[in-house]
């Protein structure tokens, strides 16, 4: 069986050695802050944990907005803010769809980073760890799950170019865009569930299943929209079966 175009595109991107600024929020100041994993790695971790059931750009902006509100983003200063105050900050500024819950997630994560990693979140991915270890560490945070944990590990490996000893535990992290693309391409059935998509990605590229994650997500947001998909300009149009429900 020939390699699917999604895998080819993913491998080409992964092979690039240069790290590029990742446009998490599409705001240069905020993106530079989130990309600075050498100096504020906890910003990246906290942003990943916020990315749930709201638009990605809004979720990823939360650490920067909290930095502006409290005037610092040092771990010791973040630890000094009470849970009640975090709840007030989230609610008063409408940072998330679930303000109390995500305030608790943020608060718990800050304390875990301080206690478990001595204030340095980069210890999660330092020293050439296995992909399983990195995914496991992210799973230990309150409010995390397989989707967030694999997404976090995937971005570190694929875009931040963090070296892992292997990549086979980094699954695809299916959201609505990825689900739609995988179904419409015909790679999975039109009613395929999340587990089916995860295992299909493992079949397509066992050494690094999540290598197609970013491409699927971008295709879903750019061309393979819920209605009026732009199939003609899509980068995988030549291999897509265009299984579009009426």
- Domain chopping of the chain, boundaries: 5-15+169-239, 28-124
- For the segment 32-57, the average pLDDT, to the nearest whole number, is 97
**What value does the mean pLDDT of the chain take?**
95
Mean pLDDT, residues 178-196: 94
Instruction: Measure the CA–CA gap between 50 and 38, rounded to whole angstroms.
Output: 20
pLDDT digits (tens, 9 = 90+) for 151-172: 999 999 999 999 999 999 999 9
The pLDDT assigned to 18 comes to 86
pLDDT (average), residues 175-195: 93
- Both tokens assigned to 246: 């009426």
pLDDT of 235 > 90? The answer is yes
Chain-centroid distance, C-alpha 181: 17
Q: Which of 232, 211, 210 is nearest to 222 (CA)?
A: 232
- pLDDT confidence of residue 229: 93
Question: Average pLDDT, stretch 73-86?
Answer: 98
Distances (CA, A) of 243 to 19, 179, 184, 214, 234: 35, 12, 4, 21, 14
Mean pLDDT of the region 11-29: 93
- Tens of pLDDT, residue by residue over 87-132, are 999 999 999 999 999 999 999 999 999 999 999 999 999 999 999 9
- The proportion of the chain whose per-residue pLDDT surpasses 90, expressed as a percent, equals 93
Mean pLDDT of 228-245: 91
> 3-state SS of the chain?
CCCCHHHHHHHHHHHCCCCCCCCCCCCHHHHHHHHCCCCCHHHHHHHHHHCCCCCHHHHHCHHHHHHHHHCCCCHHHHHCCCHHHHHHHHHHCCCCCCHHHHHHHHHHHHHHHHHHCCCCHHHHCCCCCCHHHHHHHHHCCCCCCHHHHHHHHHHHHHCCCCCCCCCCCCCCCCCHHHHHHHHHCCCCCCCCCHHHHHHHHHHHCCCCHHHHHHHHHHHHHHCCCCCCCCHHHCCCHHHCCCCCCC
Write the Ramachandran bin of 177: left for phi over 0, alpha for psi from -120 to 50, otherwise beta.
alpha
Q: CA-to-CA distance for 231 and 239, rounded, in angstroms?
A: 11
pLDDT > 70? residue 1? no
Residue at token pair 């790679």: 187
Query: The domain 5-15+169-239 is classified under which CATH number: 3.90.1150.10, 1.20.140.10, 1.10.1670.10, 2.40.50.840?
Result: 1.10.1670.10
* pLDDT at site 17: 84
């Amino acid at each position: 069986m020939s390699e699917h175009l999604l895998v080819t595109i993913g491998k080409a991107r992964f092979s690039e050695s240069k790290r590029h600024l990742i446009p998490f929020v599409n705001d240069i100041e905020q993106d530079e802050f989130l990309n600075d994993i050498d100096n504020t790695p906890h910003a990246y971790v906290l942003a990943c944990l916020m990315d749930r059931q709201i638009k990605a750009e809004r979720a990823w902006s939360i650490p920067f907005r909290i930095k502006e509100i409290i005037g610092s983003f040092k771990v010791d200063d973040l630890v000094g803010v009470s849970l009640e105050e975090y709840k007030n900050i989230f609610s008063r500024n409408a940072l998330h769809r679930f303000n109390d819950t995500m305030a608790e997630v943020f608060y718990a994560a800050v304390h875990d980073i301080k206690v478990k990693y001595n204030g340095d979140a980069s210890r999660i991915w330092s020293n050439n760890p296995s992909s399983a270890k990195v995914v496991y560490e992210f799973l230990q945070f309150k409010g995390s799950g397989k989707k967030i944990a694999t997404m976090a590990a995937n971005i570190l490996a694929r875009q931040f170019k963090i070296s892992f000893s292997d990549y086979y535990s980094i699954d695809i992290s299916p959201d609505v865009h990825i689900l739609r693309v995988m179904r419409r391409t015909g790679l999975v059935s039109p009613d395929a569930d999340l587990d089916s998509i995860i295992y299909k990605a493992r079949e397509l590229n066992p050494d690094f299943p999540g290598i197609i994650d970013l491409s699927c997500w971008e295709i879903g947001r750019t061309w393979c929209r819920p209605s009026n998909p732009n199939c003609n300009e899509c980068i995988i149009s030549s291999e897509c079966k265009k299984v579009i429900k009426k």
